[in-house]
Chains A and B, each alone.
Chain A
Amino acid sequence: MPASRLARLAAVKGQIAALEAGTRTPSTVLPFGDARVDDCLPGGGLPLGRWHELTGSGMETETGAATAGFAALLALPLTAQGAVVWILRRDDLYAPGLETLGFPARRLIQVRVRDETAALMALEDALGSAGVAAVAAEIEDVDLTAGRRLQLACEKHGATGFVIRRRPFGGASRKTATGSAASTRWRVSAAASDPPPGEPGLGPPRWTAALERCRGGRPGEWTFEWRQEADHGSHPLAVASGLAGDGVAAEDRVRLRA
């Protein structure tokens, strides 16, 4: 094939990818560094300059700890590029706990809001600001209109949003997850840790994360483990060895549920 045709083909492929991703600008990605996860995501990694939705299950909807920890680790590689803003309605995020996960709390600006509207407003404002690399927000529900607005705000300076769906004072969310403008939707729950044999105590924290919805990608389910000695460049979340989700089966399960 002549080079010119190859180039045209590549351009068309890029346009199709952009259409599939549902945005106007081609996006950069943050790879997990593991083909089992990256192959399910468009462009081979977590899309940046988009917003992502994280939901919990069971008791998680009350405490929001596993989802918050997972979001913090997704945002961790972005702290080098700018500040991270965390918007909360209930002030129970504990900065030393973030540092325990290796997240630099000095890069984190916390914002406490009174209600859902204020939370969305602050989230949109923060996403559209220069100097902000990522924004995490604990919000009950993001409807389609709000989701589109968040997406436009993300595109301004390329900030990445993480919406942690959580009711501020416990209980299951009043609204069930509907179609939204989020780039990906994850269902996160804590998973039993696996301490090294012969050592007492708890192992590094683990999460079961199901990628339920992904624009331009495929769903999947994996068990991640916190990589404690994350050297430079590697993602702090690693797929736990021996427990990697069997991608196809998980996909089927998600389809059945949907």
Chain B
Amino acid sequence: MGKQDATPKSQDLARQSPTLAASPPVPPHKGEGGPLALLITEHGTRRLHALDAAARALGLYPGQKATDAAALVPELQTHDADPEGDAAALTALGDWCVRFSPAVALDGTDGLFLDITGVSHLWDGEAAMLEDLLARLARLAANGIRAQGAVADTAGAAWALARYGEGPVVIPSGGQSAHLAPLPVAALRLDAAATAQLPRLGLTRINRLLGLPRAQLTRRFGPLVVRRLDQALGHAEEALVYRRPPTPWFDRLAFAEPISQLDDLVRVAGDIAERLCERLRTEARGARRFTLTFHRLDGKAFPVSVGLSTLGRDARALTRLFAPKLETIDPGFGIEIVTLTADGVELVSAAQGQLDNSRAAMAEEGLTALVDRLSNRLGEAQVWRAEVFESHVPERAVRAVAPMTPAAATRWSPDRPRPLRLLAHPEAITAVAELPDEPPVAFTWRGRRHRVRLSEGPERIAEEWWRKPIDAVSTGLVRDYYRVEDDVGGRFWIFRAGLYGDPAVTVRWWLHGVFA
């Protein structure tokens, strides 16, 4: 296994005909025998979209007009194609493939790329892995999925061999050019124009392209040909869009007998966590998020994940966090495979290890565990610590940060008294003020009248005008805050919005908070 080489090994799986896949649109009783085609309407014309092997053998081809095909082959059975359903089925199949590798990329409408770097040892080699994948696909769904696959250093080479090669093949590392040479140029994933043009010039096979001057090729057929060639041979990088980012921190457990008891699920969660955490420990690393996926016999996958506030690799703590979430798993006819991936893997700094025995470390650990329990049970946004946000507007002066992040040095200014309770929205009050620029002598809030005994202020806070379009800025957005105390000791934070003297602005009083 080429773990040491930088290029990811990719496995490409090409499905022969997209519409005969995981969700077969054909009722089973019509499926036997005769040639079958799926139709699609393009610009008002019914055309063949996909064909089965029997129809292909009769000389029909995708893109042919349906009427022509019916004239040539009267016994042709036709059904409507369902491209959206196919795309959904391919996505579901991609999720199903996560049992083989966490990095799965969809390729067009009928292919999947799996990055199997660092994963194939779980199957004792790439050939066994490919065989297992194809065998499982053949058993999946009612009719099975007819699939072809190949393993190669590059995605391009794997694509070519899966679609144009003969049977499943595993190319040894660096052996792409020998295997690609006899294939037709269409195996290079070219655009339609180049695919049609190249054979007309006698360039039918890839080996003919290899010797040609690159500048000429680019000038005549555009940059795509040379780039695809380089990508297939491993001279150029190719970025695949994975359904989730690839991670080498992956483990799986497969069971001879499917499991369904909750106790068993918890136990296997512990077992697999133990394995992955052991790997993390030997490399002195920890992870921030673990995703445990249960793969059911019928191909459905149920992921559960836990997030940690600090780098973690303690299998027992992890199992405790997973355990309450496993009750939501519906095992159906049984779970056959469990996978675990770790994300946000980082080196655990040596300082953390040295503190292990001290009292401070115990307190830190207890707190971290509490935060993890609460945020996994209640949601990560529900557990936070308040931190300063540089803004004078009171409702924007606080931002929530994860509880275990180190505290920032900035503090709220102690010179400006702030209420202990800040209402989410200021509430309108009716206030009586003797003079326009003075605090009120009495106000009514929530139906209760408060006589102001003492007051303090104003503290003028202007709206952050730069956050609004220029014509929306007005003196109506200036707030004069007063601290007032009523005759029974209630202390409130009220403000007057707007300035007197501007005829365009109506001055209103609001209550924004309550002091302790």
Q: List chain A residues, Cβ under 8 A from B491.
A: 65, 190, 193, 202, 205
Bound-complex Cα distance A59 to B492 (A): 12
Cβ-defined contact, A95 with B398, below 8 A: yes
In the assembled complex, A14 has its CB within 8 A of some CB on chain B:
no
Q: Closest CB-CB distance, B399 to chain A, in whole Å? A: 10
Interface check A230, CB cutoff 8 A: no
Say yes or no: A131-B370 contact (C-beta < 8 A), given A96-B412, A202-B485. Answer: yes
B417 interface hit (Cβ, 8 Å): yes
State A208–B516 Cα separation when bound (angstroms): 12
Report the minimal beta-carbon distance from B450 to chain A, rounded to whole angstroms. 9
- Interface-lining segment among A31-39, A100-108, A144-152, A250-258: A100-108
B485–A193 CB distance below 8 A = yes
Asked if A182 is an interface residue, CB under 8 A from chain B, the answer is no
> Across the interface, which residues of B come within 8 angstroms of A163, CB to CB?
none
Query: What separation, in Å, do the CA atoms of A96 and B407 have in the docked complex?
Result: 15
Does B266 make an interface contact (CB < 8 A)?
Answer: no
A120 within 8 A of B: no
* CB proximity to A under 8 Å, residues B353-412: 362-367, 369-371, 373-374, 377-378, 382-387, 394, 397-398, 400, 403, 407, 411-412
Q: Could you tell me if A109 and B420 are in contact, using CB atoms closer than 8 angstroms?
A: no
Known contacts A105-B386, A131-B365, A97 near B485 by CB under 8 Å = no
Q: Determine how close the nearest CB of chain B comes to the CB of A145; give it in whole angstroms.
A: 21
Across-interface contacts of B456 in A (CB, < 8 A): 200-202
List the one stretch of B221-229, B268-276, B421-429, B496-504 in contact with chain A. B421-429
**Complex contacts, A132 vs chain B, CB 8 Å:** 366-367, 370
Check: A217 CB closer than 8 A to any chain B CB. Answer: no
Please pick, from B400, B407, B421, B455, the residue contacting A63 in the complex, using a CB distance under 8 A: B421
Say yes or no for A189: interface residue by CB 8 A criterion.
yes
Given the interface pairs A192-B488, A200-B456, A201-B483, the reply to whether A92 lies near B414 with Cβ below 8 Å is: no
Contact between chains at A191 and B515 (CB < 8 Å): no
Q: Does B419 contact A (CB under 8 A)?
A: yes
Interface pair A97/B420, CB less than 8 Å apart = yes
Tell whether B468 is near chain A: CB-to-CB under 8 Å: no
In Å, the complex CA distance between A65 and B418 comes to 12
A64 to B382, CA, bound (A): 20
Cβ-defined contact, A110 with B386, below 8 A: yes
| A101 close to B366 (CB less than 8 A) | no
Partner of A68, one of B367, B416, B421: B421
Contact present for A201 and B454 (CB under 8 Å): yes
Check if A192 sits within 8 Å of B489, measured CB to CB.
yes
With contacts A118-B378, A193-B485, A205-B516 taken as known, whether A92 is within 8 angstroms of B424 at the C-beta atoms is yes
Q: How far is the CA of A180 from the CA of B289 in the complex (A)?
A: 41
B369 with A129: CB separation less than 8 A: yes
Contact among A105, A122, A192 for B485, CB-based, below 8 A: A192
Report chain B residues within 8 Å CB of A63. Answer: 421, 514
Give every chain A residue within 8 A of B363 (Cβ-Cβ). 82, 130-131
In the complex, are the beta carbons of B420 and A101 less than 8 A apart?
A: yes
Chain A residue nearest to B363 in the complex (CB)? A131
| B513 contacts chain A at the CB level, 8 A cutoff | yes
Could you say which residues of chain B place their CB within 8 Å of the CB of A91? Answer: 424
Q: Which of B369, B418, B489 contacts A189 (CB 8 A)?
A: B489
Q: Hey, which chain B residues are within 8 Å of A201, CB to CB? A: 454-456, 483
Partner of B414, one of A65, A99, A157, A206: A99
CA distance A91 to B491 in the complex (A): 20
Output the nearest chain B residue to A121 by Cβ-Cβ distance.
B377
Cα-based distance from A110 to B421 in the complex (angstroms): 14
Complex alpha-carbon distance, A40 and B148, angstroms: 84
Contact for B448 among A59, A69, A98, A205, CB less than 8 A = A59
Residues of A within 8 A of B365 (CB): 130-131
Decide: A97 and B373 in contact? CB cutoff 8 A. no
| Nearest-Cβ distance from residue A46 to partner chain B, whole angstroms | 18
Alpha-carbon distance between A101 and B398 when the two chains are bound, in angstroms: 17
Q: Which residue of A lies closest to B453 (CB)?
A: A192
Please give, as numbers and ranges, the residues of chain A lying within 8 Å of B263 by CB-CB distance: none
Question: Which chain A residue lies CB-closest to B409?
Answer: A106
Complex CA distance for A95 and B516, rounded to whole angstroms? 12
B-contact 0/1 string along A151-172, CB 8 Å cutoff: 0000001000000000000000
- Between-chain CB contacts (< 8 Å), 30 pairs: A68-B421, A69-B420, A72-B420, A72-B516, A83-B367, A92-B423, A94-B398, A94-B421, A96-B397, A97-B421, A99-B414, A100-B414, A100-B418, A105-B385, A109-B384, A110-B400, A112-B382, A112-B383, A125-B374, A129-B367, A129-B369, A130-B362, A131-B365, A132-B370, A193-B454, A195-B454, A201-B483, A202-B491, A205-B491, A205-B516
Q: A122-B378, A125-B374 are in contact. List 10 more A-B contacts (CB 8 A).
A: A68-B516, A72-B420, A82-B363, A94-B394, A97-B418, A97-B421, A100-B414, A110-B384, A192-B487, A202-B454
Residues on A lying within 8 angstroms of B by beta carbon are 59, 62-66, 68-70, 72, 82-83, 85, 91-101, 105-106, 108-114, 118, 121-122, 125-126, 129-132, 157, 189-193, 195, 200-203, 205-208
